[in-house]
Amino acid sequence: MKENILENEGYVLIGSAKEIQARLGRPLETDVIALFRDSGDDEQATVLTELVRHVTIDFERKLHQRKRQAMSRVIDSYVEFVSLDKTALLEAEMEGRARKAALESTSWLTAREIGQMAGLASDNPSAQTSKWKRQHRIFAIQHRNVDLFPAYALDKTNGYRPLKGLKPILELFGNSKDGWGLAYWFSSVNSYLGGQRPQDVLDTDPERVLAAADQERVGVEHG
């Protein structure tokens, strides 16, 4: 093959495999796209080279545009994030602190852990805890897509079943508090209980906790 047939047209190299490899100065270890032509047809080589060159340039231009569009979306997302209302950011921070405090206030157990402690059926331990939730005998928070139950809600002297005094309290609150709302209330110092937390008194004096819950409900209704 004539020496002048091996040319460099931007990203296009023309010639035999050996000639291209020699031109590159290294083995062809990376991915390549090969276009084959009739040997010795210089006119065909010229047309093909020009075609590939235009396609390559167009591809590079579109790839650059895609990168700029992607970067623009990232920038827009960042601007939207930092432009959030300061009140919303403050509320999110307060919510995060409250959740952290509630999580650290007691031990939180999965349905499987309760099943092991209570000797429930091992094939589907969540069935029993779900039933207890429907009966308002216990509540759960959802943390990282997992239901977690408060250890203080279980009666150690009764096979780790829910404390009997918890149900009237949960029924009193009804739908006014979700799982996290209940967790906040039980883990917070309560003036009606002399500065104690409801979760600390629930086992020994559930009637006082029920009265404190009633005070909370009345305060919300008239507040």
Identify the pLDDT of residue 74: 72
Give residues with Cβ within 8 angstroms of 20, minimum separation 6: 6, 13, 28
By CB neighbour count within 10 A (0-12 exposed, 13-18 middle, 19+ buried), where does 192 fall? middle
Residue pLDDT, tens place only, 51-108? 777 777 777 777 778 888 877 777 666 556 666 667 778 888 999 999 999 999 999 9
Identify the pLDDT of residue 128: 93
Distance CA 86, CA 140 (A): 31
Label residue 4 by pLDDT band (50, 70, 90). Answer: very low
The mean pLDDT of the chain is 82
- pLDDT at 8 > cutoff 50: no
pTM for the whole structure: 0.61
Q: Which of 7-16, 40-49, 58-67, 173-182 has the lowest mean pLDDT?
A: 7-16
3-state secondary structure of 5: helix
- pLDDT at 10 > cutoff 50: no
Identify the pLDDT of residue 220: 64
Identify the pLDDT of residue 19: 72
Angle made by CA atoms 122, 106, 204, in degrees to the nearest 5: 95
In degrees rounded to 5, what are phi and psi of residue 74? -65, -45
Instruction: State the residue for tokens 């009804």.
Output: 174
For CA atoms 61, 65, 67, 68, the dihedral sign is positive
- pLDDT at 213 > cutoff 70: yes
Instruction: State the residue for tokens 């092991």.
Output: 116
Query: How many CB atoms neighbour CB 181 within 10 A?
Result: 15
- pLDDT at 44 > cutoff 60: yes
Q: What are the boundaries of each domain within the chain?
A: 3-81, 88-222
- The average pLDDT across 8-25 equals 61
Q: Which of 71-80, 106-115, 178-187, 210-219 has the lowest mean pLDDT?
A: 71-80
Identify the pLDDT of residue 38: 55
CA-based end-to-end distance of the chain: 94
